[in-house]
């Protein structure tokens, strides 16, 4: 069982690397370009794409910057546009992200305030349901909002709890499986931190929401 689990983890790591390579190529970037914009070592980028290396949660934003994408795009596949409404709204969801982000930054939306439901947001902001869902996913990934079912509210810094990492501990960031989403009540679009403690003989993985926890290296 342990060997099968390890192989699954390696396959997820390789799949993450393939996704990073696809994103880089879609942006027309070389590994050197990503290195210059992210501040990461070129050999690390190469090994990340081939699945040899995993990446610490603290460096995900740097990687996203180097790839010219949002952090959430590191984990989400870009699905084909299904209809004209989605085609028209797909480029616009970042406008909605910026709009809500500014409302939060200005204090118009304060910590704990609920956002309108998706249907009401479509009417209020004039976007399709596709654009609204995409924007909410990105806002969750940035830690600006949290979701519970169909309810969405402005997150508070106090909601985040630290995960202390010590020498030998390993962390992998990935999207949760459907079973993990159900068991841990993880909202759609939220990635998870998989932590394996070096000091624990059982090597049991610890799973944390990235919208509720952050990493602290001790």
Q: CATH number of the domain that 144 lies in?
A: 1.10.10.10
Last residue of a domain, one of 15, 45, 69: 69
* Nearest-angstrom CA–CA distance, 186 and 179: 10
Last residue of a domain, one of 119, 141, 157: 157
Q: Is 75 a domain residue?
A: no
Q: Is 52 a domain residue?
A: yes
* Nearest-angstrom CA–CA distance, 120 and 200: 48
Same domain for 118 and 142, yes or no, is: yes
pLDDT at 138: 79
Tokens 């949660």 locate to: 57
pLDDT at 152: 87
Tell me phi and psi for residue 192, to 5 degrees.
-125, 150
Please state the pTM of the whole predicted model: 0.42
Question: 16 is in which domain, residue-wise?
Answer: 2-69
> How far, in whole angstroms, is CA 186 from its chain's centroid?
12
* Residue 121 and residue 127 in contact, taking contact as beta carbons nearer than 8 Å: yes
Binned at pLDDT 50, 70 and 90, residue 190 comes out as: confident
Least confident span in 44-58, 93-107, 119-133, 148-162 = 148-162
Count: domains in the chain: 3
Nearest partner of 205 among 163, 170, 162, 164, judged by Cα: 170
DSSP state of 110: -
Same domain for 150 and 96, yes or no, is: yes
């Amino acid at each position: 069982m342990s060997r099968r689990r390890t192989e699954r983890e390696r396959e997820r790591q390789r799949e993450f690397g393939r996704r990073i390579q696809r994103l880089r190529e879609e942006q027309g970037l070389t590994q050197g370009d990503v290195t210059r914009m992210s501040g990461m070592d070129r050999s690390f980028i190469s090994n990340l794409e081939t699945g040899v290396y995993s990446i610490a949660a603290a460096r995900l934003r740097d990687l996203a910057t180097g790839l010219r994408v949002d952090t959430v795009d590191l984990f989400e596949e870009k699905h084909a546009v299904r209809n004209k409404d989605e085609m028209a709204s797909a480029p616009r969801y970042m406008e909605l992200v910026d709009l809500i982000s500014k409302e939060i930054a200005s204090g118009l939306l304060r910590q704990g305030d609920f956002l309108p439901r998706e249907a009401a947001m479509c009417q209020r902001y004039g976007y399709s349901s596709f654009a609204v869902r995409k924007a909410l996913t990105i806002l969750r990934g940035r830690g600006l909002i949290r979701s519970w079912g169909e309810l969405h509210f402005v997150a508070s810094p106090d909601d985040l709890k630290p995960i202390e990492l010590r020498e030998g501990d390993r962390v992998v960031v990935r999207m949760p499986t459907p079973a993990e989403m159900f068991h841990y009540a993880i909202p759609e679009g939220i990635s998870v931190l998989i932590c394996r403690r070096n000091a624990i003989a059982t090597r049991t993985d610890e799973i944390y929401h990235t919208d509720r926890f952050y990493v602290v290296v001790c």
